[in-house]
Amino acid sequence: MSYDFGQRRQSNTPAWIVTFADMMALLLTFFILMLSFSNMDVTKYKAISDAMEESFGPGIAKDLEGLIAEEGLPDAINKLKGTLARTETLQEQLEHSLAEEIKQGALEVEKQGEHTVIRFPEQVAFTTASETLRAQFDPLLDKVVAIIEKSNGTIVITGHTDSIPIYNERFRSNWDLSAARAVSVVHAILKRSKIDPKRLVAQGLADTQPLSANTDKKSRANNRRVEITILETQ
């Protein structure tokens, strides 16, 4: 007795099974692709998040997480790209890049009309009654210069003192001291950047523009400072 195996398979196997098997294979492939896309998005998000945190500070990563929770990853990324397309102001760049130093009181950043002012207290920038820059001021100035050299317009460096007169072999008055301190910062900026010297202005204002009333030790310390003011042009 012999068997026709081809005929047996044809008679016992439903015709739809081949189509069903193809469909299952396609579904499996589809879900594998979906999983790979999902993992790729997570990797992409991590890369984007790390890059933005390094450039703009930790706040931007939190913003991205909030957008993802509300709108999903693709829409969140697209929306955030639109937000970042708006050019940051110089003040925002400084505040993002120097957030830790600002928190520690090493400098202040503020907007005065159309101008951006960076303010350093004497104890951070100078040795007492001298125009010599402190060593600890160098890395801070490096960060500031890296940002402001990309700006445009005039950069004014201004020295300020308290109201107690100074007179010694080096300085005849607070005018001399404040001007010398401004010039020291100008030289430091030129040494570490390619800023056109024509953009730089040094001036000493002695005690003519105090921030505080010069009534006690704390207020006088507040007045002893150097400021970098960027007069940006459009």
53, 61 Cβ separation under 8 angstroms: yes
Q: Where are the domains of the chain?
A: 5-85, 90-231
Higher pLDDT, residue 31 or 229: 229
Q: What is the pLDDT of residue 5?
A: 37
Residue 34 pLDDT exceeds 80? no
CB 157 within 8 A of CB 201: yes
Question: Angle 90-97/137-148 helices, nearest 10 degrees?
Answer: 150
DSSP string, 140-167: HHHHHHHHHTTS-SEEEEEEE--SS---
Task: Quick: pLDDT tens for 171-224.
Answer: 999 999 999 999 999 999 999 999 999 999 999 999 999 999 999 999 999 999
Q: Give tens-digit pLDDT for 96-121.
A: 999 999 999 999 999 999 899 999 99
Q: If DSSP codes are grouped into helix, strand and coil, which group holds residue 37?
A: helix
Nearest CA to 204 out of 233, 166, 234, 147 is that of: 166
Copy the structure tokens of residue 174: 């607070």
Multiple choice CATH, 90-231, 3.40.50.12160, 2.60.40.3880, 3.40.50.1010, 3.30.1330.60: 3.30.1330.60
- For residue 111, count other CB atoms closer than 10 A to its CB: 12
